[in-house]
Structure 1
Amino acid sequence: MDLGIAGRTAIICASSKGLGRGCAEALAEAGCTVVINGRDATTLEATASQIRAKYGATVIAVVADVSTRAGQDALLAAAPEPDILVNNNGGPPPKPFREVSREALLEGVIQNMATPVELMQRVVDGMIARGFGRIVNITSMSVLTPLTGLDVSSGARAGLTAFFSGVAREVAYANVTINNILPGMFDTDRLKGSTTKMAAIKGITPEEMTKGRMAEIPAKRFGSAEEFGKACAFLASAHAGYITGQNLLIDGGVFKGTF
């Protein structure tokens, strides 16, 4: 399917690997100029080179921490008028709720709520003026169902979801959409890291934790960054202009809900 966004410019935060990279690859394949971002210059440049070689796309690599004003400035200097913004960021590591400090709580809110809001504020009026905009927030299935040890991440992402719910309705008239993708368990470095830490909390081995997590998924497997990226690209496409304010859960059937 031609997604109708060839020639558009997309900023994809935290996209040197994992789900962010999956989104960057899918948007590059759709013909977008992609601005990718990460904090490790070596990893980021390797990713940029691989995407360029695979898709022939224009890829701009920006080394930056998107949670900082300087990092956001660097992204927008590379693409002052983005048509697509994919908000993504690392979350707080798993931790028992009794051990969460005030500082850790505030850092989680900055990473997973304030940062996406700040970036949206800086690009949305330009999108409205141009009559096209797609904002996709990568949140988590933990917005809908609790995950042990991820209470700070869950709370911040739920707050982000609520914040954008109203904003999405305010800007829809201008063909600007805002949607959220809620990933379940995907085969990424982040999943491996959280599995190890959650195994320690439960007092079992990472292998046991991995096997147990996979057994809980009706699809009996972890998702891939590639399939996640395809879903993101569709929400960013010209065909998704009538979809806004929605939460797309991609979890292999883990969440047991009819509606």
Structure 2
Amino acid sequence: MDLGLKGRNAIVCASSQGLGRACAMELARAGCTVVINGRDADKLAQAAAEIRKETGATVHAVAADVSTREGQDALLAAVPTVDILVNNNGGPPRADFRDIDRDAMLKGVVGNMVTPIELVQRVIDGMTERGFGRIVNITSFSVKMPLNGLDLSSGARAGLTGFLAGVARSVAGSNVTINFLLPGSFETRRLQSGQEASAKQQGIPLETLRDQTRAQIPAKRFGDPAEFGKACAFLCSAHSGYITGQSLVIDGGAYPGIL
């Protein structure tokens, strides 16, 4: 399917690896000029080179902390206009809620709620004026099914979802959409490192823990980042203008609810 995105400009935050990179790859494949972002300049440059080689697209690599005004300025300056924004950021580390102090709470909320909102604020008027805009926020399936130890991440991401739900309705008439992708267990370095730490803590072999985790997923496997990227690209496409304010869980059926 032609996604109708040739010539569009896309910014994908936290995209040097994992799900962010998968989204950037698919948007590049669809014909977008893509701005990728991360804090590790070397890793980012390597990702940009690989996406260019794979897709032939124009890819700009911006090493910056987008939680700062300076980082956001650098990101937005990479292209003349922003047609697509994919908000993404790593969540706070797992912790007992009793151990999360005020500074940690503020940092978590800034990273996973305030920063995405600030970026939306900065691009949305241009999108409405041009009559096209796609904003996708990568959150987590824990927004719908909170997990013990990820309370700060779940709370901040749920706050982002609630905040932007009303905004989505206010701009829908201008062909600007705002949606949310809620990933479950995908085969990424983040998942692998978390599993390694958990296996060590439990004193069991890593593959035993992975088998146990897979068994709890109805699809009986971990997600492939590429399939997540394709879902993101569709939500950014010219064909998705009637989908807005929605939270799409992509988790192999792990979330048991119907809403």
Partner of 2:50: 50
Per-residue deviation at 1:204?
Answer: 5.2
Partner of 2:173: 173
- Residues in 1 aligned to 2:115 and 2:210: alpha-carbon distance in whole angstroms: 31
- Residues in 1 aligned to 2:38 and 2:91: alpha-carbon distance in whole angstroms: 14
- Residues in 1 aligned to 2:118 and 2:243: alpha-carbon distance in whole angstroms: 22
Partner of 1:94: 94
- Residues in 2 aligned to 1:130 and 1:181: alpha-carbon distance in whole angstroms: 25
Give CA-to-partner distance per residue, 1:161-214, whole Å, 9 cap, x none: 000100000010100000000000000111122333445666655444322221
Partner of 2:230: 230
State the SS of the aligned residue for 2:149.
coil
Instruction: Confirm or deny: 8 A CA contact 1:94 1:198 kept in the other structure.
Output: no
Q: Give runs of aligned pairs for residues 78-117 of structure 1, distance below 5 A.
A: 78-117=78-117
Give CA-to-partner distance per residue, 1:197-245, whole Å, 9 cap, x none: 4456666554443222211101111101100000000000000000000
Q: Give runs of aligned pairs for residues 36-185 of structure 1, distance below 5 A.
A: 36-185=36-185
State the SS of the aligned residue for 1:78.
coil
- Tell me, which stretches of 5 or more residues in structure 1 are unaligned? none
Q: Give the total of aligned pairs.
A: 259
Distance 1:93 1:207, change over 3 A: farther
- Residues in 2 aligned to 1:93 and 1:67: alpha-carbon distance in whole angstroms: 17
CA RMSD of aligned residues (A): 1.4
- Residues in 1 aligned to 2:203 and 2:72: alpha-carbon distance in whole angstroms: 39
- Residues in 1 aligned to 2:208 and 2:107: alpha-carbon distance in whole angstroms: 31
Instruction: Confirm or deny: 8 A CA contact 1:3 1:238 kept in the other structure.
Output: yes
State the SS of the aligned residue for 1:248.
strand
Give CA-to-partner distance per residue, 1:13-53, whole Å, 9 cap, x none: 00000000000000000000000001111111111001111
- Residues in 1 aligned to 2:219 and 2:2: alpha-carbon distance in whole angstroms: 28
Distance 1:138 1:60, change over 3 A: same
Give CA-to-partner distance per residue, 1:107-148, whole Å, 9 cap, x none: 110110001000000000000000000000000000000223
- Tell me, which stretches of 5 or more residues in structure 2 are unaligned? none
State the SS of the aligned residue for 2:239.
helix
State the SS of the aligned residue for 1:98.
helix
- Residues in 1 aligned to 2:196 and 2:69: alpha-carbon distance in whole angstroms: 32
TM-score w.r.t. the length of structure 1 is 0.96
Partner of 1:15: 15
Give the AA of the match of 2:125: D
Partner of 1:218: 218
Q: What is the identity percentage for the equivalent residue pairs of Structure 1 and Structure 2?
A: 65
Instruction: Confirm or deny: 8 A CA contact 1:13 1:87 kept in the other structure.
Output: yes
Distance 1:99 1:87, change over 3 A: same
- Residues in 2 aligned to 1:201 and 1:29: alpha-carbon distance in whole angstroms: 41
TM-score w.r.t. the length of structure 2 is 0.96
Per-residue deviation at 1:70?
Answer: 1.2
Partner of 1:209: 209
